[in-house]
Chain A
């Protein structure tokens, strides 16, 4: 199987607090892998390791089959981009959105200096953001818009793998649905690979092809979404699934 990113026996954590224990995970190309778990399960730490923001204490991280070690080079950075949870913190409050996007595009050669603006405009349009969005500071956007700008920034450099760490969790449900629909559409258009982290099984089911369940820093099970939602393999998976508030009449 062609994997964009692979974690092999990764241990990672902070100073004196180990979080991930022997985590192995394969993110196959063009798939959306849902990572689900409760608070403290280590899913955000896993995202940080995958994103290169946290170096694993031991184990290997492979990008396109080649081990990554130490500081990532420019090409590796381009291939993995991330959208974070908190809309208020995801954008530099003192930089105009357009400048940040253009800079990223030009830096990674996703667009020549002259055409970057044009490309940004198209991207904004695709994100269903107003045309003047590029000249605004982040505070002029609503929470949902901010997250879509953050998504635009991530996609501006045409990454292979998008990591979404609870990217819609802080949004209102109707706004969340809009963003999820956008992610689903973009995924098909751009043949993206996505690591989608969420605590919300409804959301995971809506966007993901595979489900990975984490608890206490370990991966408990990993299987195709269709199978997981019918037949979770672990007791904890069943518990999680049964706890989701349901409306059935």
Chain B
């Protein structure tokens, strides 16, 4: 059959949309000090609970703080925590997963055991327990993710590596006499990375949900630092009169989650 059959470019479209959405969100977060006309903490009791429009495009909250500034600064906080909490687990998980998949044997067995055990473990419960133990702030999230976040990537990387272990090109590389580290780094890594990145995108969306949940429960980011979760919780009291207090930060979370999933889906389509 005709091999040149053009693949539908669906992946590319999804990816571009996701990247564009994410870029807009990152721009908002990074440029917050430049684009915001108000300080997110500055109270203006003469202009409280103003609906969106005019001088305050997203309205103001019960203390007259500008919602746009607060949402933008909250993006800074939440996205930073999200990124920082994922880096270490991603790198360690990927590395350990590739090692265990490459060598097999008891190391691989251990990783499978650990990852399977944690899949059955209630993740949220652990985060909440650690968050209580370490007090409010982002520490709880960082520590929990250091402890268990890598398992996901180890699982993915191990699976991908194990499926390539017997491939002929890997054997050819081994026959070249390259050291194991060289084979893992130069040959395996470029093949395992794409899958891990796809999972990273999905997992970041999940992590964002956790960060926001903790903020909502009051055991995450401490007020008055703006945080989407805490904002949703505070706005809840005014749900009937000032819907924008909860809905706008909520939409932000949904928007970021969708952007990340689009990137993940798009990458998965393109790389397959």
Q: Do chains A and B touch in the complex (CB under 8 A)?
A: yes
Minimum CB–CB distance from B160 to chain A (whole Å) comes to 12
Q: What is the minimal beta-carbon distance from A159 to any residue of chain B, in angstroms?
A: 10
Find residues 129-156 in chain A having any chain B CB closer than 8 Å to their own CB.
150, 153-154
Which A residues are CB-close (under 8 A) to B170?
92
The answer on a CB contact under 8 Å between B175 and A80 is yes
Q: Quick check: B172 and A82 within 8 Å, CB to CB?
A: yes
Q: How far is the CA of A89 from the CA of B168 in the complex (A)?
A: 6
Q: Is A157 part of the binding interface, using a Cβ–Cβ cutoff of 8 Å?
A: yes
* Interface contact A107-B169, CB-CB below 8 Å: no
Contact B191 A78 (CB under 8 A): no
Say if the beta carbon of A122 comes within 8 Å of chain B. Answer: no
A103–B186 CB distance below 8 A: yes
C-alpha spacing A245/B168, complex, angstroms:
31
What A residues does B173 contact at CB under 8 A?
A: 92
| Number of A-B residue pairs with CB-CB distance less than 8 Å in the complex they form | 56
Question: Which residues from B are CB-within-8-Å of A103?
Answer: 186
Contacts of A169 in B (CB 8 A): none
Interface residues on B, range: 10 to 19
Closest B residue to A153 by CB, please name it.
B172
Number of interface residues of A (CB under 8 A): 30
**Are the CB atoms of B175 and A93 closer together than 8 Å?**
no
Also in contact, A84 and B187, with CB within 8 A (given A78-B177, A89-B167, A107-B178): no
- B175: which of A82, A85, A92, A95 is its contact (CB, 8 Å)? A82
Cβ of B237 < 8 Å from any Cβ of A?
no
Residues 75-97 of chain A: 1 if any B CB is under 8 Å from the residue's CB, otherwise 0?
Answer: 01110111011100111111100
B5 beta carbon closer than 8 Å to chain A? no
Contact A90 B169 (CB under 8 A): yes
Q: Would you call A175 an interface residue if the criterion is a C-beta within 8 Å of the partner chain's C-beta atoms? A: no
How far, in whole Å, are A53 and B168 apart by their CA atoms in the complex?
Answer: 11
Interface string of B88-104 (1 = CB under 8 A from A): 00000000000000000
Q: Which residues of A contact B186 (CB under 8 A)?
A: 95, 103
Chain A 76-129 interface residues, beta-carbon cutoff 8 Å to B: 76-78, 80-82, 84-86, 89-95, 103-104, 107-108
Nearest A residue (CB) for B167: A89
CB–CB B190/A94 < 8 A: yes
Contact residue among B172, B176, B190, B191 (Cβ-Cβ distance under 8 Å from A84): B172
Closest Cβ of chain A: how far from B1's Cβ, in Å?
14
**B175 contacts A51, CB within 8 Å?**
yes
* Across-interface contacts of B177 in A (CB, < 8 A): 72-74, 76-78, 107-108
A11 to chain B, nearest CB (A): 21
Shortest 8 CB-CB contacts between residues of A and residues of B: A77-B177, A84-B168, A94-B190, A89-B168, A92-B169, A74-B177, A90-B168, A94-B191
Name 16 A/B residue pairs within 8 A (Cβ), A-sorted: A51-B171, A53-B174, A53-B175, A74-B177, A77-B176, A84-B168, A84-B171, A85-B168, A90-B168, A92-B170, A92-B173, A93-B169, A94-B191, A104-B176, A153-B172, A154-B172
